[in-house]
Amino acid sequence: MINKVLRVVAALPGILFVVMGVRWVIDPAAAAAGIGMPLLEGVGLSTQIGDLGAFFLTMGLLILIGVTTLRRVWFYPPIMLLGLAASFRIIAWLVHGAALAGSLIAAEIIIATLLLVSTLRLCEKDRT
Amino acid sequence: MKPLGILFLKTLVAILLGLGVMTARAAEQPNIVLILADDLGFTDIAPYGSEISTPSLAALANEGIRFTNFHTAASCAPSRAMLLTGVDNHRAGVASIPEAIPPEQSGSASYQGVLGNNVVTVASLLEGAGYHTYMAGKWHLGKEKHQLPSRRGFERTVVMADTGADNWEQKPYIPIYKKANWFADGEEMELPEDFYSSRFLIDKTIEFIDSNRDDGQPFFAYVPFQAVHIPVQAPQEFIDRYRGVYDVGWEQLREDRLAKAVELGVVPEGVGMVNMSTTQDWDALSDARKRYEAKRMAVYGGMVEAMDFHIGRLIEYLKATGQYDNTLFIFTSDNGTEVSGPLNPEAARTRFLLRNQGYSTEYETLGLKGSFNSISPSFASASASPLAFYKFYAGEGGMRVPLIIAGQSVSGLTIPDKGKLNHALAYVTDITPTILSLAGVDAPGGRFGGRPVERMIGRNLMPLIEGDVERVYSEDDVIGYEVGGNAALFRGDYKIVINRGPVGDSAWHLYHIVNDPGETEDLAEAMPERMQIMMRAYEHYVVENEVLPVPPGYAQLSQGGINGLRDAYGKQLLVLLVSIMILVIFLVMARSIHRR
């Protein structure tokens, strides 16, 4: 029962990231505003839509594949991406004078931890 | 003298002469204040028969001239487009308000709902003639940066770009907007904490005028108020003055205003009135409902008086700074009374919807900050007394509005009949040619600023104001009109009109609008030849202005809601749908792989 609940809970950020990825493609202005970023122009806009759309969509799908197949290898990339994103945000604040995006860092750490717990609980039989 | 010296002298003389001409012209050119009320009914101000106290407008009326047969479009943006350009709304790109254009029409250049680049505003023309041009108020002719008034000839602006907005704070009044879109000089702005729309707009107008007061150049100030568009809101002290005034109900108010309008000569004696199907029986209401409805209208009265009070502040400022005598005032409304207020704002569904927007409809705070108020269709009909219909409809109640032109000491202007009424037919497209005439500025021909532009169709009203002529439209001249399928054509003292549902019967009628402004007696059968001539003229108008038919079942208000929700939430909906599609595909694939 707990594992079923955990699967559903772990799937939620996956769905969220899929929506965010699609949003970058369809409504980039709103997507950019959602993560505190101005919408750029020219190549910058292309990079924003291309890279960030692909980043969120892929991460969401990786989580969903992991939840569906219960193979831990699918969870590793999103855990790494979220963990590194949180770490780099802190470095950006400390070294480069960026704002401390506390709520975003917290969200990334919480989701990464959730995925890590899911990996340990849901993928016990998987040794890959 | 050497040729070079002669050339220098000639150039110097030419420059000095040029400067002299400019200086003389600037001294002669009057300042112009164009004030536009929003959704103000025909008898909503005292000079036209209202019980609402409007001393500033009454003073202007006494010093100027009141038009009783002036017509505008029955809808906001089309009126504003015609007012500022002198061009038919279809040709100006504003066949209807942008919020209510159906997909079947949206491909046409005439149906963009924003002011086209093929028209020139009166502000552009005046600015080119040395005027300072200011605007403070509602624009509603496009909200992209390149569509704002700062790009259409206005030197300084503070504008609200939507159909309407809250009067107490920066807040949208209907859910089709995510925010109230205010701009200062073309850039997004935040409203101050102590904002009240009418006060703020006059404060900004005075600030703009004062900033260039001593440079010798005349100014053109366009002040399109939010008053009295929904939400109907007013300061408490103004509301209090109308407590109990409307306890008599809407039927009596409509009668009282008719009697006063007859007494003033605004309409002829013996004018008939139709009873609109949307008017409820006042006597059948409970005492509680009567109390609530009377309060709704009291707030409306307070909002009109507050607008008048702030117009008075502008007049006082101009007098105190010695600018009043050379200032021409034009006051009018963009269309007849608003009618989209709910029948019963206290109904659970209405309260729920308004609560979701952060609005209350409580009796005690009605009209104050955080309160959403409107008047019902019943009081709207009284506000348009003695006319039939109201906003959106081509009946006289939607199209006939007050027009006051005042400026008794303006150089070059003589008003022999000041304080009098003028019953000649006039139309909203006449305002720009009239302003240009007084300012001594030529209307553009077929080109302006290196591009082809539409020619103005409006007439100069100056000969009418100065008493030189009886009318500027001859018995055979026609004025066509269409917005949202509701249409009319004026010819001489007659008008043909069609009003679609839900209130109209979708049939053409013929009225003598001078003797019968209440549109009570249809003359279509009695005067078939006239009817035929006018119908042919309307068909010509349709072709000439590329008027498109509205799709079957079209209703302006509901289309506005649909379009608004699409604009506000369309992208979110698309994101959701595409996300669901991806997730469903993913789920199907995952199951398929799992089964294998």
Q: What distances in angstroms separate CA B555 from CA A32, B163, B484, one per listed residue?
A: 36, 17, 8
At B463 the pLDDT is 94
Domains in chain B, start-ordered, CATH in brackets? 18-472 (3.40.720.10)
CB atoms within 10 A of CB B185: 14
pLDDT confidence bin for B18, thresholds 50/70/90: very low
**Highest mean pLDDT pick, A119-128, B259-268, B332-341:** B259-268
pLDDT confidence bin for B590, thresholds 50/70/90: confident
Buried b or exposed e, range A105-116, using 16+ CB within 10 angstroms? bebbeebbebbb
Tell me the mean pLDDT in the region B511-530. 97
At B356 the pLDDT is 86
pLDDT at B26 exceeding the cut of 50: no
Token pair, residue B145, equals: 């940066």
At A11 the pLDDT is 93
For residue B505, the number of C-alpha atoms closer than 13 Å in the C-beta half-sphere is: 7
Question: Per residue in A73-84, pLDDT tens?
Answer: 999 999 999 999
Contacts of A23 in chain B (CB under 8 A): 575
Provide the shortest C-alpha distance from residue B12 to chain A (in Å).
50
Question: Per residue in A1-41, pLDDT tens?
Answer: 788 888 999 999 999 999 999 999 999 998 998 888 889 98
Residue type at position B430:
D
Q: Which of B578, B583, B593 sits opposite A26 (nearest CB)?
A: B578
Alpha-carbon torsion B573, B577, B580, B586, what sign? Answer: negative
* B134, B158 Cβ separation under 8 angstroms: no
pLDDT: is B381 or B106 the higher one?
Answer: B381
Token pair, residue B310, equals: 């702030």
Identified catalytic residue from B90, B132, B140, B509? B140
Cβ distance B571 to A27 less than 8 Å, yes or no, reads: yes
Rounded percentage of chain B residues whose pLDDT exceeds 70: 95
Interface of A with B in 7-36 (CB under 8 A): 15, 18-19, 22-23, 25-27, 30
Q: CB-based contact (8 Å) between A49 and chain B?
A: no
∠ Cα B408 B414 B417 (to 5°): 80
Identified catalytic residue from B71, B76, B310, B423? B76
Cβ distance B571 to A30 less than 8 Å, yes or no, reads: yes
Q: Kindly give the interhelix angle for A102-122 and A76-96, rounded to the nearest 10 degrees.
A: 160
Cβ distance A27 to B574 less than 8 Å, yes or no, reads: yes
Question: Per residue in A105-120, pLDDT tens?
Answer: 999 999 999 999 988 8
Q: Which residue has the tokens 């890959």?
A: A128
At B556 the pLDDT is 82
Contacts of A39 (CB under 8 A, 6+ apart): A28, A29, A32, A33, A45, A48
pLDDT at B10 exceeding the cut of 70: no
The helix or strand, by DSSP H or E, that contains position A46, with its residue range, turns out to be: helix A42-47
Provide the shortest C-alpha distance from residue B64 to chain A (in Å).
51
* A84, A77 Cβ separation under 8 angstroms: no
Tell me the mean pLDDT in the region B285-293. 95
Residue type at position A23:
R
Cβ distance A18 to B571 less than 8 Å, yes or no, reads: no
pLDDT at B441 exceeding the cut of 80: yes
Alpha-carbon torsion A108, A111, A115, A121, what sign? Answer: positive
Provide the shortest C-alpha distance from residue B586 to chain A (in Å).
8
pLDDT at B424 exceeding the cut of 80: yes
pLDDT confidence bin for A128, thresholds 50/70/90: low
Secondary structure (H, E, C), B71-109: ECCCCHHHHHHHHHHCCCCCCCCECCCHHHCCCCCCCCC
Residue of A nearest to B585 (CA): A61
pLDDT at B303 exceeding the cut of 60: yes
Contacts of B574 in chain A (CB under 8 A): 26-27
Tell me the mean pLDDT in the region B202-227. 97
Contacts of B566 in chain A (CB under 8 A): none
Mean pLDDT value across chain B: 92
Contacts of B588 (CB under 8 A, 6+ apart): none
Token pair, residue B52, equals: 């609402």
The residues facing B135 across adjacent strands are B157, B222
Q: Which of B582, B586, B590 sits opposite A22 (nearest CB)?
A: B582
Residue of A nearest to B591 (CA): A68
Measured distance CA(B315)–CA(B55) in Å, rounded: 12
Q: Which residue has the tokens 């009043």?
A: B324
Active-site residue B76, yes or no? yes
Tell me the mean pLDDT in the region B221-242. 97
pLDDT confidence bin for B341, thresholds 50/70/90: confident
Tell me the mean pLDDT in the region A68-93. 92
Q: CB-based contact (8 Å) between A61 and chain B?
A: yes
Alpha-carbon torsion B59, B60, B66, B72, what sign? Answer: negative
Question: Per residue in B158-193, pLDDT tens?
Answer: 999 999 999 999 999 988 888 899 999 999 999 999
pLDDT confidence bin for B571, thresholds 50/70/90: confident
Tell me the mean pLDDT in the region B568-582. 87
Tell me the mean pLDDT in the region A51-57. 95
Q: Which of A15, A23, A65 sits opposite B575 (nearest CB)?
A: A23
Residue to substitute from B188, B572, B575, interface A, most A β-carbons within 10 A: B575
pLDDT confidence bin for B17, thresholds 50/70/90: very low
Q: Which residue has the tokens 């219960």?
A: A70
At B587 the pLDDT is 83
Cβ distance B575 to A26 less than 8 Å, yes or no, reads: yes
* A65, A72 Cβ separation under 8 angstroms: no
Measured distance CA(B507)–CA(B442) in Å, rounded: 41
At A127 the pLDDT is 57
Provide the shortest C-alpha distance from residue B546 to chain A (in Å).
34
Cβ distance A61 to B594 less than 8 Å, yes or no, reads: no
Measured distance CA(B367)–CA(B372) in Å, rounded: 7
Q: CB-based contact (8 Å) between B576 and chain A?
A: yes
pLDDT at B32 exceeding the cut of 80: yes
At B103 the pLDDT is 86
Q: Could you tell me the residue ranges of all domains in chain A?
A: 2-122
pLDDT confidence bin for B5, thresholds 50/70/90: low
Cβ distance B583 to A26 less than 8 Å, yes or no, reads: no
pLDDT at B433 exceeding the cut of 50: yes
Q: Which of B56-60, B529-533, B550-554 has the lowest mean pLDDT?
A: B550-554
3-state secondary structure of B368: coil
Residue of A nearest to B578 (CA): A22
At B15 the pLDDT is 42
pLDDT confidence bin for B414, thresholds 50/70/90: confident
Cβ distance B575 to A69 less than 8 Å, yes or no, reads: no
At B577 the pLDDT is 87
* B380, B337 Cβ separation under 8 angstroms: yes
Token pair, residue A29, equals: 């202005």
pLDDT: is B528 or B556 the higher one?
Answer: B528
3-state secondary structure of B289: helix
Cβ-defined contacts of A6-13 (< 8 Å, 24+): A6/A117, A6/A118, A6/A121, A6/A122, A7/A67, A7/A118, A7/A122, A9/A114, A9/A118, A10/A63, A10/A66, A10/A67, A10/A114, A10/A115, A10/A118, A10/A122, A11/A63, A11/A64, A11/A67, A13/A60, A13/A63, A13/A111, A13/A114, A13/A115
The helix or strand, by DSSP H or E, that contains position B304, with its residue range, turns out to be: helix B287-320
pLDDT at A97 exceeding the cut of 80: yes
pLDDT at A54 exceeding the cut of 80: yes
Measured distance CA(B64)–CA(B414) in Å, rounded: 10
The residues facing B490 across adjacent strands are B479, B495
ipTM over 0.85: no
DSSP symbol at B456: P
Cβ distance A18 to B583 less than 8 Å, yes or no, reads: yes
pLDDT at B235 exceeding the cut of 80: yes
At A126 the pLDDT is 65
pLDDT at B27 exceeding the cut of 70: no
3-state secondary structure of A114: helix
pLDDT at B2 exceeding the cut of 90: no
Measured distance CA(B521)–CA(B456) in Å, rounded: 34
